[in-house]
């Protein structure tokens, strides 16, 4: 999502050149471009102005460090400042043993209800006993939506009735908690515009009654300049304690995160990264700053690998890499998430790929189907696959003989390439068995 901004900054900074000391003129020029890039990324203009002012102050007269070029020095300064602006260290809500109440607030359509469901799933997996409270009485069927999510997560839900007073809600909640112990209550409120006085009063009244331990503002990553006002007014009216940024899996550059964080000074706890209930990740300022600058996110990549529980493959000679190995690796990698997303986590990759680059996951599935239609013997020794076998495999996997030919050829080329690579890098390298297979020269369905 942040790649576009990263690319831009990188282009600008490449132009700064390889001087040993940064002159004021160079810095000024770069900073003007950075400011524009930040604005294009929807960072609020006052935030962008301040940001640039802070970086400029540090950059002018800065000695270029050691082996770094001037451009790299500026990248480092901008990177550090971005981390600071995004909150420095990653933070998570602190929970006590009992009586935790989360209050989710935000504009309509920011993703509160979905985030409530995701939070419930997240904390349930951490051993919490979660209760969801559906307090969105405005949008038709919003409470039903939360009920469905609660069922999927496997937690109970308490629905607030129409026109119920906050006092009544509190009473019903206490009653519920008496019969069924819950140590974390997550309240999903109705979306509202920050300028709607009446609704904001209602929200404040409910908050006073329920006394939440955390009041979380849910912010859409695609929000424009307005993000700053939204965050500021919500903070003034209901005193936020943290932020959740949603829809980070789109291509929004996410300047809203920067704006909201810097105006409230409250930590961004989580980022929503998919429509699924598991699509909620802790927000790491350093990683996101790295992504903004197109530095990739190696930590994120490793984390995904750990989650996917990749099995190390026995080390083989490249010449022995057969179709069975290819299938195993393909499946393991797909477990880590869409390949397109993974590629973007690799440092430098987001710049190397054309904009709008996409990998058709279906093509990978087709390869899977083709190999699955082969016998183990064929997979281990592809040389035995003759014309008749090809026909059978094609029929079995719903593809054509040409597809099979292409797959076999691709596999041959991969083997060749792995041999070359091994000669270049020597043994060891990047974690045993974790080395992703090189993308074949015939890219299966990669398209712009």
- Using CA atoms, how far apart are residues 345 and 366, in angstroms rounded to an integer? 25
Q: Which is nearer to other proteins, 194 or 332 (CB)?
A: 194
From the CB of 146, what's the least distance to other proteins, in Å? 8
Nearer to other proteins, 131 or 149 (CB): 149
CA–CA dist 257, 262 (Å, integer): 8
**Contact, 374 vs 326, CB < 8 A?**
no
By C-beta, is 253 or 266 nearer to other proteins?
Answer: 253
How far is the C-alpha of 9 from the C-alpha of 28, rounded, in Å? 14
Q: Nearest approach, Cβ of 52 to other proteins (angstroms)?
A: 12
Compute the least distance from the CB of residue 431 to other proteins, in Å: 29
Min dist CB 250 to other proteins, Å, is 4
Nearer to other proteins, 141 or 205 (CB): 141
The residues that touch other proteins, with contacts defined as CB under 8 A, are 36, 39-42, 44-45, 107-111, 139-142, 144-149, 152, 193-196, 220, 222-227, 229-230, 247, 249-253, 255-256, 275, 358, 360-362
Joined together, the tokens standing for residue 111 give 């993703």
* In the complex, minimum distance from the CB of residue 91 to other proteins, in angstroms, rounded to a whole number: 25
**Upper half-sphere CA count for residue 167 (Cβ side, 13 Å):** 0
User: Closest CB to other proteins among 257 and 333?
Assistant: 257
Closer to other proteins by Cβ: residue 9 or 142: 142
Work out the number of other CB atoms within 10 angstroms of the CB of residue 67. Answer: 6
Tokens of 435: 């080395």
Cβ 227 to other proteins shortest distance, Å: 8
- Please report how close the Cβ of residue 339 comes to other proteins at its closest, in angstroms: 11
- Map residue 244 onto helix, strand or coil: strand
Q: What are phi and psi of 130, to 5 degrees?
A: -100, 140
DSSP alpha helix (H) spans, 136-165: 142-153
Q: Are 95 and 124 in contact (CB under 8 A)?
A: no
Q: Is the dihedral of CA 419, 423, 424, 429 positive or negative?
A: positive
Choose between 134 and 393: whose C-beta lies nearer to other proteins: 134
Query: What is the rounded CA–CA span in Å between residue 137 and residue 189?
Result: 8
Nearer to other proteins, 236 or 412 (CB): 236
Which are the contacts of 103, defined by CB distance < 8 A and separation ≥ 6? 187, 189, 207, 210, 212, 214, 215, 216, 238
CB 275 → other proteins: shortest distance, Å? 7
- Alpha-carbon Rg for the chain in angstroms: 26
């Amino acid at each position: 999502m942040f790649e576009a901004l990263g690319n831009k900054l990188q282009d600008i900074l490449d132009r700064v050149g390889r001087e040993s000391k940064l002159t004021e003129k160079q810095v000024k020029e770069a900073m003007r471009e950075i400011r524009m890039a930040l604005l294009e990324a929807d960072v609020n203009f006052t935030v962008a102005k301040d940001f640039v002012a802070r970086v400029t102050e540090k950059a002018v007269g800065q000695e270029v460090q050691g082996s770094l070029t001037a451009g790299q020095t500026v990248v480092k300064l901008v990177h550090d400042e971005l981390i600071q602006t995004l909150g420095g260290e990653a933070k998570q809500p602190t929970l006590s043993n009992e009586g935790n109440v989360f209050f989710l607030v935000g504009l309509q359509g920011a993703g509160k209800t979905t985030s409530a469901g995701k939070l419930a799933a997240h904390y349930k997996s951490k051993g919490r006993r979660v209760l969801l409270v559906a307090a969105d009485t405005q949008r038709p069927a919003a409470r039903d939506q939360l009920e469905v999510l609660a069922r999927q997560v496997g937690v109970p839900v308490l629905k607030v009735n129409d026109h119920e007073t906050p006092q009544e809600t509190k009473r019903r909640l206490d009653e519920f908690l008496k019969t069924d112990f819950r140590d974390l209550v997550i309240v999903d409120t109705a979306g509202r515009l920050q300028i709607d006085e009446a609704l904001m009063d209602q929200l404040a009244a409910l908050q006073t009654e329920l006394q939440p331990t955390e009041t979380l503002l849910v912010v859409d990553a695609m929000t424009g300049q307005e993000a700053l006002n939204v965050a500021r007014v919500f903070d003034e009216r209901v005193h936020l304690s943290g932020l959740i940024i949603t829809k980070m899996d789109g291509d929004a550059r996410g300047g809203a995160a920067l704006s909201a964080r810097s105006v409230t000074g409250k930590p961004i706890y989580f980022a929503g990264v998919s429509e699924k209930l598991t699509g909620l990740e802790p927000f790491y300022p350093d990683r996101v700053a790295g992504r903004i600058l197109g530095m990739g996110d190696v930590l994120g990549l490793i984390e995904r690998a750990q989650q996917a529980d990749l099995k190390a493959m026995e080390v083989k000679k490249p010449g022995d890499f057969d179709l069975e190995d290819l299938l195993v690796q393909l499946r393991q990698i797909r477990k880590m998430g869409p390949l397109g997303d993974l590629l973007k986590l690799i440092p430098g990759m987001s710049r190397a790929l054309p904009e709008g680059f996409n990998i058709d996951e279906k093509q990978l599935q087709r390869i899977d189907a083709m190999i699955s239609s082969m016998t183990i013997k064929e997979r281990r020794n592809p040389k035995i696959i003759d014309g008749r076998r090809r026909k059978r495999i094609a029929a079995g996997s719903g593809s054509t003989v040409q597809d099979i030919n292409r797959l076999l050829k691709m596999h041959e080329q991969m083997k060749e390439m792995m041999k070359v690579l091994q000669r270049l890098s020597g043994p060891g390298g990047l974690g045993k068995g974790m080395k992703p297979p090189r993308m074949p020269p015939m890219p299966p369905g990669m398209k712009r």
